[in-house]
Amino acid sequence: MKFFIDTADVDAIRELHDLGMVDGVTTNPSLILKSGRNILEVTKEICSFVKGPVSAEVVALKADDMIAEGRKLAAIAPNIAVKVPLTWDGLKTCKVLSGEGFMVNVTLCFSANQALIAAKAGATFISPFIGRLDDINLDGLDLIGDIRTIYDNYDFKTQILAASIRNANHVKDCALIGADVVTAPPNVIKALASHVLTDKGLDQFNADWAKTGQKIL
């Protein structure tokens, strides 16, 4: 499974990148706002060291405007994935931009039918939002499973990019179901290394080592 980092915080991306944990990055207008930076500048900086796909999102609502914005974003770097919403205009944009050879990430997916039609439109990635479905008492992981089945049935090449990841269990479950990618905030990626029994065992080892009176260095 690939790990994309869902943030526009360059320092946080670099920290995980140095550990080999960054296969790509996803951003959106809310994350750009949180960064306090210009979208073109921060996206260019991220692309300067992240070699995998970096998603940058259009903000227009009409297809012609989305296409123009998408082309401008795609010009930042060859590894830009233009992010478009799963609306009819977004699908039109996806078809045009994917036809021009650009990667397209179709976002805000909440149903298997939406994922199916995005694949038909040539999406490189489909981004189903797990956490937001959980918030309204629907099982977001069921959606990942449904999309996996549909894509496998018809050999669609669109990659399932599980989004709105809230916790480490979401990551594990997406891996078990067969999502191609998860995009998660840095704190969730870091949480994958944590376990209470690891901490407990380390405390015991340290206590026993202190009793030996030895040093390695």
Which one-letter DSSP state was computed for residue 180? Answer: S
Which two three-digit tokens encode residue 131? 């956490």
182 vs 114: CA distance, rounded Å: 19
Unique residue bearing structure tokens 């080592």: 209
With contact defined as beta carbons under 8 Å apart, do 147 and 112 qualify?
A: yes
Q: Which of 146, 154, 156 is nearest to 178 (CA)?
A: 146
181 vs 1: CA distance, rounded Å: 6
- Give me the active site residues, please: 83
Amino acid at 87: T
Query: Residue 96: how many CB atoms within 10 A of its CB?
Result: 19
